[in-house]
Amino acid sequence: MSSSRKTSDLVFYLVFLATVVTFVIDINQIFFHTPIEASMGIVQKIFYFHVPSAYGMYIGAGACFLGSAAYLMSPTDARDAFAKAGAETAVAFGIIVLVTGPLWAAKAWGRYWTWDPRLTTSMLSVLIYVAYVVLRSFAGDGHAEKKFAAALGVVGAANLPIIHYSVKKWSGQHPVVIGSGGGGLAKEMYPALFLSLAAFTLLAIVMLWTRTRVEIARARLRQLEEEALVAIPEGTT
């Protein structure tokens, strides 16, 4: 193993360890040091994983956009791998958002789902990245398929600002606690939120890193298989 690979592995394990430690501290903070919300009760604690998951989805989608744009400008396996890893990360976090949101809503609104603008645009975004992952899984690994997927990765990112501004531009039920128009959190709730954001950022980095490495390894495998076809007489492998 090369020294750069060893250094890369060491950094990866350190980031992974930092992620685990941050999650342990975060969960302790959420459940033992953060007060229960006055009107919703304990179910409000879903917020500390729901919001950072949405943030993690943005990180994944952003990575998919960057990797895709870079691939369209100058195609390399690493750029394609980064874009694919971003889409998969966006799907994983998007599913968490779509699972935790309705569980909170069941208590807060008395129903799991409404066609609120933010909910609808969030689901649409997850479906775009699911489409990307499905396309990459079933359409093959040719250059044309990769280019098509990269275009989807670029165009799919257009929905992200719509999710963000949907609560401002259209009326809906989704809460706006933080930012303009929001009443803010109680100050005792901020440490849990910031820790969760840190934990999910680290987790998103770990997931992106892991998946990018897997995809680079797959590209290397394909290259070796092509070499093997030329170099090795049939029937010797």
What residue ranges bind another protein (CB under 8 A)? 40-43, 45-46, 49-50, 53, 88, 92, 95-96, 99-100, 103-104, 106-107, 109-111, 203, 207, 210-211, 213-214, 217-218, 220-221, 224-225, 227-228, 231-233, 236-237
Count other C-beta atoms under 10 Å from residue 108's C-beta: 17
Q: Please give the Cα distance from 66 to 144 (Å, whole number).
A: 19
Q: What gap in Å lies between CA 179 and CA 3, rounded to an integer?
A: 46
Tokens 């901020």 belong to 190
Q: Quick one: 158 or 227, whose CB is closer to another protein?
A: 227
Q: How far is the CB of 232 from another protein (least distance, A)?
A: 4
Could you tell me the two tokens for 62?
Answer: 């952003």
Which CB atom, from 107 or from 169, has the smaller least distance to another protein?
Answer: 107
Residue 41 DSSP label: B
Closer residue to another protein, CB minimum distance, 110 or 183: 110
| CB of residue 109 to another protein, shortest distance in Å | 8
The answer to whether 47 and 104 have CB atoms below 8 angstroms apart is: yes
Q: Which is nearer to another protein, 139 or 228 (CB)?
A: 228
As separate numbers, helices (DSSP H) first and strands (DSSP E) second, the chain gives 7, 0
The tokens describing 77, both together, are 């396996």
Quick one: DSSP state of residue 37? B
How buried is residue 194: exposed, middle or buried, by Cβ count under 10 Å (0-12/13-18/19+)?
A: middle
Find the shortest distance in angstroms from Cβ 177 to another protein. Answer: 18
Nearer to another protein, 154 or 200 (CB): 200
Structure tokens at 54: 């949405």
Tell me if 116 sits within 8 A of 24, measured CB to CB.
no
Shortest Cβ 203–another protein spacing (Å) = 7
Closest distance to another protein from the beta carbon of 180 (Å): 27
In contact, 161 and 121? CB cutoff 8 Å: no
| Nearer residue to another protein within complex by CB, 16 or 194 | 16
For the CB of residue 7, give the shortest distance to another protein in the complex, in Å.
Answer: 19
Q: Nearer Cβ to another protein, position 112 or 170?
A: 112
Please tell me the distance from the alpha carbon of residue 72 to that of residue 103, in angstroms, as a whole number: 39
Q: How far is the CB of 158 from another protein (least distance, A)?
A: 25
